[in-house]
C-alpha cells in the first residue's frame, strides 16, 4: 500500500486526512502493525489511491487483508454467502476423493 501511495504522490498525512484517520493509524497498516482495514475503509483507500479501475490490484489488496486476518477475502465471502448453489458445489466437491483434480480441471 505504501508503494502505491508514494507512486501516486500522496503523503501519509493527506491519505489519513481524506480517510478520517490518523497518520499513525495509516502508517501502522502499511507496516503491518495494525489489523488490515475493514471492507469499507479498504474500498475508500482503493478509491483514494486511484485503484478503482484496476481489479487486479484491488483483488491483491483484498487477498492480503484476508491473509492477515486468516480469513477469506471479503468480496469472495460475500459472494459465497449470497449464492447457496456455489456453497453446495463446494461442499459436494469437498467430499469427493479426487477433489483436487476436480478443481484443477476448472
Is residue 57 predicted with pLDDT exceeding 90?
Answer: no
DSSP symbols for 48-64:
HTT-TT-HHHHHHHHHH
Q: Let me know whether 9 and 57 are in one domain.
A: yes
In the predicted structure, residue 16 carries a pLDDT above the cut 90? yes
Residues 49 and 101 in one domain: no
Examine the pLDDT at 103 and tell me if it is beyond 90.
Answer: no
Kindly state whether residues 55 and 94 are assigned to the same domain.
Answer: no
For the domain that residue 8 is a member of, what is the CATH number? 1.10.260.40
Confidence (pLDDT) at 80:
93
Can you give the pLDDT at residue 9? 93
pTM: 0.73
Domain that holds residue 90: 73-106
Together in a domain, 8 and 42 = yes
54 and 14 part of one domain:
yes
Residues 96 and 65 in one domain: no
Which residue is listed with cell 479501475?
A: 53
Domain co-membership, 29 together with 47:
yes
Does 78 share its domain with 67?
no
Amino acid at each position: 500500500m505504501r508503494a502505491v501511495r508514494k507512486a501516486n504522490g500522496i503523503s501519509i498525512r493527506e491519505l489519513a486526512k481524506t480517510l478520517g484517520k490518523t497518520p499513525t493509524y495509516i502508517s501502522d497498516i502499511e507496516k503491518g502493525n495494525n489489523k488490515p482495514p475493514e471492507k469499507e475503509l479498504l474500498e475508500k483507500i482503493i478509491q483514494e489511491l486511484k485503484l478503482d479501475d484496476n481489479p487486479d490490484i484491488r483483488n491483491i489488496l483484498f487477498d492480503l487483508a484476508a491473509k492477515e486476518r486468516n480469513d477469506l477475502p471479503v468480496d469472495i465471502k460475500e459472494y459465497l454467502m449470497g449464492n447457496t448453489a456455489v456453497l453446495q458445489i463446494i461442499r459436494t466437491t469437498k467430499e469427493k476423493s479426487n477433489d483436487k483434480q476436480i478443481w484443477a480441471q476448472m
